[in-house]
Structure 1
Amino acid sequence: MAVAGDFPEDLTRDILLRIPVKSVSRFRCVHKTWDSLFNSSSFIITHFNNSNKKGHNFMMLMIPYDETVDKNWYLTQLRFRLFTRDKFNVYLNLEGEAPFRITSRNHVYSLFYPFVGFCNGLVCLHNYLQQPEQIVLYNPCLKQHKIIQPPIDFNVSEFRDRVLGFGYDSVNNDYKVVYWRKREGHGIRTQLAQVYTLGTNSWRDVDPPVNITFIKVPTNFQAFLNGSIHWWGKDVKNIGCQVIVSFKVCSEEFQVFHLPDYVPRPKRLANLNFDQIGIYVCRDLLCVSVATICDQYLNQSYDIWAMGRYGVQESWTRLFVVDNEQRPDPFSYFKGIEMNGELVWSRTSSTDRVWVTVNYADNEKFHDIKFGYDDRFPEFPVVTYTESLVSLK
């Protein structure tokens, strides 16, 4: 590295591994050896792991912004914002940088859920209002995206119920998208699953689990941990038995984790008609949240459970209870738990201005993240995001 002067090469590399992605991107033009270094798989992986261990991660919000096309049609754009985790200041504001826009009728898009998951600095989105559908991989920090066409042999009209997953194959240093559909009717259930591999840019069939299917949760998404994607599922032969469905990204195999019997079944809102359940990664543990109280009168209580030893059913432990005492005010809604244990709430003021409030279960201090008056509340997840140099070009 001639540009490094008298600095030893290993010391120069160690310094560069500590520099944020935005700075590394600017340094590509310093010398061709640096550009080559920043593109190497070993540097990208080490840089990400170093940033992750040092806590250089952010809170990501995806905020829908609508523009009126005519009387009944709207154009929805996703605005991505990264906030620092100490003072919750804006670190990166991507206005107009979302990889796609969606035209919908009567705000119908806000009722759907385009966010699939995130992994190693990449975000996976699913635009299924457009035909043909689009699956998008997006690196917000590098402002790069790749559009993936879904498998063409799925009959959209017959297999409308689906769940997607996104994860990293550490053995082959590759990224994969899982597309899992089901069709139910007249006592017959058919399931199809396929996996897309970024490196080969191709789909192939995989065997779905037997007698297990997914639960499509409109307000939550997957959890990626230990090389596996996790969703809420159910045992179709044991009515009411909910499970965690796991997909090992490397071996492309499904696995099932059972919940302990004393985890309560989620309560169903009579008027809103959705289950108050969630699945997360918190403190490097697989966690689930289940509503024990949730009604139209804003009485809320959630149990947060963690699997202390991954894959061991007996290790499920209740971390804490989220109830009305943790709420910032009577009109706030619990949205989920973040990687480091932060509780996330949505709030609406008397002027209809919306914001996110963050606190810890054992900390009464609240942090507010407010939005502009032209923004709607992010109906998509608030996630912990770690920037990375993973390129999609």
Structure 2
Amino acid sequence: MEMVRCNEIRRQLMDLPTDLLVDILLRLPVESLRYCIRRVCKTLLNTVDSRSFIRQHTLSLIAGNNHVVCRVPQLMCLLEETPLDEEEIIITTFVTLQSLRYDGGTALTKGEFTFTHSTSSPYQPRYMIHFVFYNLLCMEADEHCLLINPLLKQVLTLPTDNIRQLDMTKYGPNCHVSLRFYGMGFDDITNTYKIVRVSRIWHKEDYLETLGMLAHILVLGTNSWREIPSVPPCMGLIYTYNLCAYGDMHWLMLRGRDGGVRILSFDFKREEFHWTPAPTLRSSNKNSILHMLSLRGSMAIVETFPLGEGAIKVEIWVMKDYTKKEWAREYSMNVDVRPKYGLKYATCGEWEHGIFFNDHNMMCFKSEGTTRLFLDL
């Protein structure tokens, strides 16, 4: 009976016009395409494995049109543990990514996804997350850069090179290279995923003196970095948030003396850095704090500033049209944060029904730990 039902469903599915069938498949999550649809019949296997379909599905995800991505856990907790043993010469550090659920109350519970990765070295490595590209996390540990898919429990070590061996004739003998940050995007012209790496060259005797910048590209599937002529237009590059959106990479820069907002972007098709226009924020409050995040697949800027009497104003600007670079203020709300949530040191992210703030002001509330404030939009 079950075999008859499957054959009937397969027949009805294949009787649909090709355009309608592809439109239905484009709305499915990657897991369904990979583990279910490809096994139905050879025709569907060839359809979802074709380069044209993969390109359309990827562009749909990047544009935020495919809302099924919300099935993926939005909240992940990073736990780092190093069991110390005085007799051990090699130190092993364990990093665990654990999905979390928020039920709308006052508690966070563990989700179904968990992944642990270990690194062994003569000294304790420092882990740093550089970016999140949909289900992928880029993490640096022990001078090695890892691309991690915690849902599939896969780890890819990105190739290393001799970037630290500079041309001394150009920068002088007293120069040093520090790897600053990475970004990932999709080139829909060549149908390839790329990673950009930006390095800072500084004077050995003065860390604040920037001598130059280097930018390299890695095409996933290859094993070497390629230097590109384009570098960030600002030498002392310091950013507060990064975001993968619309196939490009974006960094929210620290405010200058004029208080203006600047977004540095990298176009993976042209392999060029450029400035993306930011929204014209209505607040002139110098105490306002800015955050950048992805909200339902679109780039968003969140601004918070105090109102007094234990309240803050929260405004959310969303990029409505990336081609035209048009922003719109979609949310403006007053939030009562009494008695203790200043959110001055908070980071901001997205969860299934809105945004959350993760306050790291441990100096004031050591006994109570980190404060998390969830806003249901």
Instruction: Give the TM-score of the pair, scaled to structure 1.
Output: 0.64
The SS at the match of 1:5 is helix
Distance in 2 (CA, whole Å) between partners of 1:41 and 1:62 is 35
Report how many residues are paired: 334
Alignment CA distance shift 1:310-1:245 (3 Å): same
Q: Which moved more, 1:29-38 or 1:227-236?
A: 29-38
Alignment CA distance shift 1:24-1:235 (3 Å): closer
Structure 1 counterpart of 2:301, from 288, 295, 302: 288
Alignment CA distance shift 1:41-1:136 (3 Å): farther
Q: CA deviation at 1:352?
A: 5.5
1:10 maps to which residue? 14
Distance in 2 (CA, whole Å) between partners of 1:291 and 1:105 is 40
Paired amino acid for 2:186? Y
Q: Deviations over 1:66-105 (max 9, x none)?
A: 1322379772413232659999876532243x4x547697
2:171 maps to which residue? none
Q: Would you say 1:52 and 2:66 are equivalent positions?
A: yes
Q: CA deviation at 1:336?
A: 1.2
Distance in 2 (CA, whole Å) between partners of 1:135 and 1:178 is 12
Q: Contact 2:96 / 2:114 at 8 angstroms: preserved in 1?
A: no
2:354 maps to which residue? 342
1:152 maps to which residue? 162
Distance in 1 (CA, whole Å) between partners of 2:372 and 2:120 is 24
Paired amino acid for 2:238? I
Q: Contact 1:139 / 1:145 at 8 angstroms: preserved in 2?
A: yes
Distance in 2 (CA, whole Å) between partners of 1:204 and 1:3 is 53
Paired amino acid for 2:224? S
1:305 maps to which residue? 317
Alignment CA distance shift 1:42-1:91 (3 Å): farther
2:276 maps to which residue? 257
Q: Contact 1:75 / 1:102 at 8 angstroms: preserved in 2?
A: yes
Alignment CA distance shift 1:134-1:32 (3 Å): farther
Q: Deviations over 1:348-377 (max 9, x none)?
A: 99986768553225xxxxxxxxxxxxxxxx
Q: Deviations over 1:189-222 (max 9, x none)?
A: 41111111114343212211434653233xx4x2
- After superposition, residues 1-393 of structure 1 pair within 5 angstroms as 5-6=7-8, 7-8=10-11, 10=14, 27=36, 33=42, 39-41=49-51, 49=60, 52-54=66-68, 55-70=70-85, 75-81=93-99, 83=101, 92-96=112-116, 98=117, 100-101=118-119, 109=126, 113-119=128-134, 121=135, 123-127=136-140, 129-130=141-142, 133-154=143-164, 158-160=176-178, 162-184=180-202, 189-206=211-228, 207-211=230-234, 214-217=237-240, 220=241, 222-233=242-253, 242-259=261-278, 260=280, 264=284, 267=287, 276-290=289-303, 292-293=305-306, 303-310=315-322, 315=327, 317=329, 319-320=331-332, 323=335, 325=336, 327=337, 330-331=340-341, 333=343, 334-338=346-350, 342-346=354-358, 358-360=374-376
Q: CA deviation at 1:253?
A: 1.5
Alignment CA distance shift 1:155-1:176 (3 Å): same
Paired amino acid for 1:287? A
Q: Contact 2:99 / 2:114 at 8 angstroms: preserved in 1?
A: yes
Distance in 1 (CA, whole Å) between partners of 2:84 and 2:251 is 36
Q: Contact 2:315 / 2:333 at 8 angstroms: preserved in 1?
A: yes
Paired amino acid for 2:252? W
1:367 maps to which residue? none
Alignment CA distance shift 1:10-1:144 (3 Å): farther
Query: Considering only aligned residues, what root-mean-square deviation do their CA atoms show, in Å?
Result: 4.8
The SS at the match of 2:262 is strand
Higher RCO (Cα < 8 Å, 6 or more apart): 1
Q: Contact 2:178 / 2:199 at 8 angstroms: preserved in 1?
A: yes
Q: Deviations over 1:7-30 (max 9, x none)?
A: 336369778777765566655996
Instruction: Give the TM-score of the pair, scaled to structure 2.
Output: 0.66
Q: Deviations over 1:30-57 (max 9, x none)?
A: 6884776665545556667589334534
Q: Contact 1:229 / 1:246 at 8 angstroms: preserved in 2?
A: yes
Distance in 2 (CA, whole Å) between partners of 1:316 and 1:144 is 38
Q: Deviations over 1:271-327 (max 9, x none)?
A: xxxxx5422122454322345459xxx98665543444436678464742565x1x4
Q: Contact 1:265 / 1:290 at 8 angstroms: preserved in 2?
A: no
Q: Deviations over 1:104-145 (max 9, x none)?
A: 978x84xx63241213x3x13131x41xx2222233333223
Q: Contact 1:233 / 1:245 at 8 angstroms: preserved in 2?
A: yes
The SS at the match of 2:14 is helix
Q: Contact 1:328 / 1:357 at 8 angstroms: preserved in 2?
A: no
